[in-house]
Structure 1
């Protein structure tokens, strides 16, 4: 029987993006149904395929995503477009920065001033135009370093980058937020990562919201239905 899991976000494409990302990093085939209800994620699927994931759309409209496992992405053969999707930029930057690959991200999404330092803290080399915009060139870390960072709840993009980079870091990534709040994109990520088998904690410590992620987990493939704009039904592995 399916178990309904309401994503905390009102942005269903972000929750669906986390599902696609985790499916692309899991070992084996995940089946995702109802993806069309969560907005346009074709760009993310194409980006994951450029990194070695395979994806096909079945006749029933569901997507079958076959991942290679964390640490096993390949170097893309071309520029990866991210358009104006800031979540996609943040997630892909964290993924590329924590793997030993060279990649260029292009688009019109805004690159925050704090994004490159987070990638460098993980061990990546990052180059941007003098204007500070796109494209972003990333030479990923050979042995990603877990990040410990304190953020405001408005720093959702930075938190997403740090969390995704932590997946391939050898150790525990720690993200602390002032106060008890949590950005919706990160809340979605925590829920989906747990479903795929990541070891991640979410606690309140001395008035701060603290997220800890143990790096290099073996994510397990899943069968997932996007049941509506605010519900993800998980059917089990």
Structure 2
């Protein structure tokens, strides 16, 4: 039974109003972006079709700007497709946006309930998170200070804790755990491993091809906003490595 069905989905973003910018209109028209009048658009994803089964763990690879983050946001319900359809089954938790549902003027403690409610948490789950999150994040007295005063690492701690505090049917994960000290990173990895064991379906984009191969049951290579290849993790990752080596010898490919 599929957890996620993506049917011929495309995402495009308006760039600006080109009605009074004739030079840019001309240049964009020559490369097939936008028209002579009105807004210009950039296609982040083009005609994506994927079916992700219940219990499957799909890894995403591709160079920076390939469209992986846009695809994660699409699956996570944070954006809607410009065309096509995306259907998901069950509770979807997107560990993507660091500021989802968070009010910068409120304290870390005060910011626990709204994001969890937006993620579909029950009253009991919110109450449990209020007890557990302050201790896990290790924010100490900062948990009662405004979120806007937090460093990037502190913000990452709070949002990661929020997104992994309630069970998910589908976990959508963009790797950004680098912020923070070694102790927190280790605790976050342990928490993530436990969280994954309780989540039925995973969609993951990571800088580490080794991690992608180890965690995934299938891998999709995203290139230029399209699915270039899907299949066995080792085969797809090897094909991607060879492609990147040929394109830029000596450079290590990085995920988006």
TM-score tier, shorter chain, comes to 0.3 to 0.5
Tell which structure's C-alpha radius of gyration is larger: 2
Task: Please identify which structure carries the higher strand content.
Answer: 1
TM-score of the pair, normalised by structure 1? 0.33
Task: Please identify which structure carries the higher helix content.
Answer: 2
TM-score of the pair, normalised by structure 2? 0.31
